[in-house]
Structure 1
């Protein structure tokens, strides 16, 4: 491995004082006495992080797979060859801004780089995290589409027994699609009318749920429970250890593909009832549930427990949005409060 005895930190045009020079070498001081086997580049650091932290014992499979994909496609080609001290905050910001990605994806890339530098700091190979000051936006490019109660009711009336049971289940409980497809009949507690969420399927791999908060029983409405039991009577795989929604082609050994049901059954049914211009997927049912809970005035803590978020903030910021009627009513009330006299004049204009 090549050892550097000196390194240029910048030109006199950029560094004009001793104080600025000292600030520029802060990052280098943490690397003066590093051992030969310690990570020198971003690629070296990522390799060490994968071995020590990115394991199935510590991370979910989806997290591991996403990390590897983002590093291979974006971070590695641009930053992998650079030494840890060569990465600059502003350069990372400019790079993220130039990428043709959604704000949320850019935030994930920033988070991944930050995690790597925190790993280096934890092992005392570096003294500060240059990514901590990188500015990114997670603002959505568009609001998430949801189904109104009327649209949801019309949809379930057009579906088969199996698809109706799926939509009623996910629409009334807020289950993630990865959680729904791994349910077995043993997870349905008929006596207590609850469904136990114990596992999930990400990229065809069955494993743990997304978070610890996800492993909570979810209540079932009698109507939803009856729809599930009706489907169980027709299902070719109705035993306790069988999947609720198994793949017939794979003889029940694996759950069916939810994307296939979405394309072949649910979206055509939505088109029949006139739902156009909305991007509806399985996760839309989760957003719809949270929005409807807010419309009904359900306490935010109760909504959090039902949707199984780790915190109320996620329930408020991500999964709820103001309903048009609520916004209109709020607007009317504030105008009535602030401009009561003007409203009276408007309602009873003077006759000329």
Structure 2
């Protein structure tokens, strides 16, 4: 086995292998290499230079070299083809980051370059995720998608790569009632924080969508909100509650005043974000989630909820009010109505109108008792 390891003592990479005339010849041909022979420990060392390291990796890739990916300089671009493919396909930052994480962790697990990975390595790694790390089915499915994309579509290394269908448990979201939702809003004295949650519920926005809203996305004349490049990189329009318009106008005045306390007038005018964070950036997603968590705690909400629960509540409450499912799908930006159909399972009004067959039998018994007895 060929091993390539970094030594922080002298800031050099060491290439070790059982003696082979072929390997020795290749190692010797790479510039700036130095041969070490101490106590039967033979190795070639190379400076911590990305160009040299890249030459070593390329030369020994066909011989199944073993590496520690975290040691390899980023300039070597061992996953350069992956990033090129995601740019060409215009993948979102989140998808790229998720796929990269799965693929990189696979390389860490196998200690291999992508070209040396085998389908058996994929199976072992996925099994490791389930049995050793106990990751959720959704994460395993995400890893599978990343491997299919990279090894089948990009590298065409495994052209027939498929995985057996996973049985994934279906969990219904815990839905906030109208009263619980209102109590969360009332628990927030800060106008900016309250408006953040109000707009998310009013329009059914994801947390990433609401923090990236710009002032120009709000159409106060039509009571509409434009969601730019939402999930799946799709633009859409959703509703803005009429009852929120005046309060939103007041918030915009307070927003400008607060920004002027720490920025110049020109800087405030150049800040496009409806919910500004530090500098000229939008509010951080973790800050938004913390705002909701603290508000739910103050409101004594016993259910297991998160910021996304406001979006669940928006859809469920609309359905309970009789809004067409297809229209809710459009407002939420779901690609398929099947995703939206989950709310039919939690909408209270749909369930309340269903009469249990036991109640019908019980009612029938009561009617029988009311009939006069037959004396004959």
Normalised to the residue count of structure 2, the TM-score between the two structures is 0.65
Structure-2 change in CA distance of 1:177 and 1:93 (3 Å) = closer
Q: Counterpart in 2 of 1:77?
A: 108
**Corresponding residue SS for 1:282:** coil
Using the alignment, how far apart are the partners of 1:136 and 1:324 within structure 2?
A: 30
Deviation at 1:224, TM superposition (A): 1.9
Q: Counterpart in 1 of 2:93?
A: 61
Q: Counterpart in 1 of 2:136?
A: 102
Q: Counterpart in 2 of 1:256?
A: 283
Which of 202, 208, 211 in structure 1 is aligned with 2:232?
A: 211
Using the alignment, how far apart are the partners of 1:280 and 1:133 within structure 2?
A: 33
CA contact (8 A) 2:174 2:304 kept: yes
Q: Counterpart in 1 of 2:214?
A: 184
Structure-2 change in CA distance of 1:113 and 1:124 (3 Å) = closer
- Bigger RCO (CA 8 Å, 6+ sep): 1
Larger Rg: 2
CA offset digits 1:281-323 (Å, max 9, x no partner)? 2211111112222222322210111111122122224x66423
Deviation at 1:350, TM superposition (A): 8.1
Using the alignment, how far apart are the partners of 2:244 and 2:299 within structure 1?
A: 22
Q: Counterpart in 1 of 2:151?
A: 117
Deviation at 1:324, TM superposition (A): 4.8
CA contact (8 A) 2:217 2:227 kept: yes
Using the alignment, how far apart are the partners of 2:245 and 2:123 within structure 1?
A: 55
**Corresponding residue SS for 2:283:** coil
Structure-to-structure mapping, 1:326-341, within 5 angstroms? 326-330=350-354, 332-335=355-358, 340-341=360-361
CA contact (8 A) 1:171 1:286 kept: yes
Structure-to-structure mapping, 1:26-41, within 5 angstroms? none
CA contact (8 A) 1:185 1:242 kept: yes
Larger displacement relative to structure 2 (301-310 or 237-246): 237-246
**Corresponding residue SS for 1:297:** coil
**Corresponding residue SS for 1:55:** helix
Using the alignment, how far apart are the partners of 2:169 and 2:308 within structure 1?
A: 18
Deviation at 1:258, TM superposition (A): 4.4
Deviation at 1:72, TM superposition (A): 2.4
Deviation at 1:169, TM superposition (A): 0.5
CA contact (8 A) 2:144 2:163 kept: no
Q: Does 1:309 align with 2:342?
A: no
Using the alignment, how far apart are the partners of 1:246 and 1:100 within structure 2?
A: 38
**Corresponding residue SS for 2:227:** coil
Structure-2 change in CA distance of 1:87 and 1:256 (3 Å) = same
Which of 300, 316, 319 in structure 2 is aligned with 1:291?
A: 316
Q: Counterpart in 2 of 1:243?
A: 273
Q: Counterpart in 2 of 1:153?
A: 182
Q: Counterpart in 1 of 2:173?
A: 144
Q: Counterpart in 2 of 1:10?
A: none
Using the alignment, how far apart are the partners of 2:209 and 2:164 within structure 1?
A: 34
CA contact (8 A) 1:161 1:227 kept: no
Q: Counterpart in 2 of 1:50?
A: 82
Q: Counterpart in 2 of 1:13?
A: none
**Corresponding residue SS for 2:319:** helix
Q: Counterpart in 1 of 2:243?
A: 223
CA contact (8 A) 2:207 2:285 kept: yes
Q: Counterpart in 2 of 1:31?
A: none
CA contact (8 A) 2:203 2:241 kept: no
